[in-house]
Amino acid sequence: MKRRCVICLAGLVLTAAAVLLAVAPPQGERLPGAAPADRRLVRVWMVSSVGGGESWLRACLKDWEAAHPGVMTYLRKVSAEELTREDAVLPDILLYTPGDITAPEALFTPITGAESIREALVRCGRWRGQQYGLPLCYGGYVLAIDGALEPQHAATPAPTTLLGRPAVTAFPDATATPGYPLAAAQQTDTPLVCPRGAAGFTLSCLLAPQERPALCTPAPAPAEAYRRFLARQASSAVLTTGQVTALEEAAASGKGFAYRILTPSEVITDQVWLGSLFPGAGAEAASLLAHLISPSAQKRLASQGLYTVREDLKLYASDVSGLMERASARSLTAINAYIDPEDVSSAAWQVLSGREGLSAALMPLL
């Protein structure tokens, strides 16, 4: 009996060995990804983004991975404080907007490959003569006005309807109607919401001091300004172009309301999304950044209401997005990414209050 058990056990062992030999790769070969050297990973950390930027990024990451078999990307949202922790294991790429990082030389390695990008945006990622940030896309600011303030304008017929949706109307370029008054807003209990940062510069270009309604104080973050306008807790608000796209989607789903958009004649913005490389980042990380500014990736920005950084591309033909793109072509000012955000807010307030001229206030921020 014992001998029979031993024979059966030996048979099982021989069978298992035969199966392993059948599936094992030939000597000298390795299964893909079996060794640490084969598992290539590009780690991407994101401190902040411009409106719609994250959706655009995820689509671009899929495209890039498909073109680079064996390489994967890992995207993680972090706070700026995590970058300076003593035990931090830093990634390959960091994505951020102006104001998140104020000492780029202590974190990043100088970067190249910005030749195809507009100079105003290239300067945004430059610090003390070195290029630390590569601009990937940008947005601007517009003034959104609740249609309830002016019901006679809220039903403006086509062709001025925004993207063909009659409930949402676009106002003509502000250059044709300077100093548009918001007298109705001055009579309401809901003041105009203007986010902190460069949004104040856009408002100062759109409305003369005597025409501005009371401003909501303290100035909120852009996301909070959008939330208040969408909840109709503010009669008007300075919004980002990415947020206007979100408003359009709300209107299309039946959850929105009639509103108008007033666009500036020039674009002054801190809504720039930048990518930087940490020391030790490999060739794959540099390749990924190069892909994000490639024509194929930049064309995807149109679905998010964002704008290309490239000199050789235009994404929009008409409506609010087209008006903003043409305004940007006339004049684009991008706030330097590494200026203290309090300095930007202070300078914008000086212009809004009429204490300093626009050019003088902008000069130290470039």
Q: Give the pLDDT confidence score for residue 347 in this predicted structure.
A: 96
Judged by DSSP in three states, 207 sits in: coil
Q: Give the pLDDT confidence score for residue 170 in this predicted structure.
A: 41
Q: Give the pLDDT confidence score for residue 330 in this predicted structure.
A: 95
Closest CA to 122 of 233, 247, 272: 272
Region class of 136: left (phi > 0), else alpha (psi between -120 and 50), else beta: alpha
227 vs 213: CA distance, rounded Å: 19
Are 163 and 248 in contact by the 8 Å Cβ rule? The answer is: yes
Q: What is the pTM of this model?
A: 0.80
Judged by DSSP in three states, 175 sits in: helix
- The answer for residues whose C-beta is within 8 angstroms of residue 195's C-beta and 6 or more apart is 219, 220, 221, 222, 224, 225, 238
Digit-by-digit pLDDT tens for the chain (366 residues) are 445 554 445 454 444 444 444 444 444 433 333 344 555 899 999 999 998 899 999 999 999 999 999 999 999 999 999 999 988 899 999 999 999 999 999 999 999 888 899 999 999 999 999 999 999 999 999 999 998 876 554 443 333 332 222 223 343 333 323 333 444 434 445 689 999 999 999 999 998 776 777 788 888 999 999 999 999 888 899 999 989 988 888 888 887 788 999 999 999 999 999 999 999 999 999 999 999 999 999 999 999 989 999 999 999 998 899 999 999 999 999 999 999 999 999 999 999 888 999 999 999 999
At residue 309's C-alpha, the angle toward residues 99 and 46, to 5°, is: 40
Judged by DSSP in three states, 340 sits in: coil
For tokens 């064309």, the residue is: 299
Tokens of 302: 């149109």
Task: List, in sequence order, the alpha helices (H) in the chain.
Answer: 2-23, 53-67, 119-124, 151-154, 183-186, 199-206, 222-230, 241-252, 283-292, 295-299, 319-330, 341-352, 358-362
229 vs 194: CA distance, rounded Å: 11
- The answer for residues whose C-beta is within 8 angstroms of residue 144's C-beta and 6 or more apart is 229, 236, 237, 238, 239, 244, 247, 259, 260, 261, 262
163 vs 321: CA distance, rounded Å: 10
H or E stretch at 126: strand 126-127
Judged by DSSP in three states, 123 sits in: helix
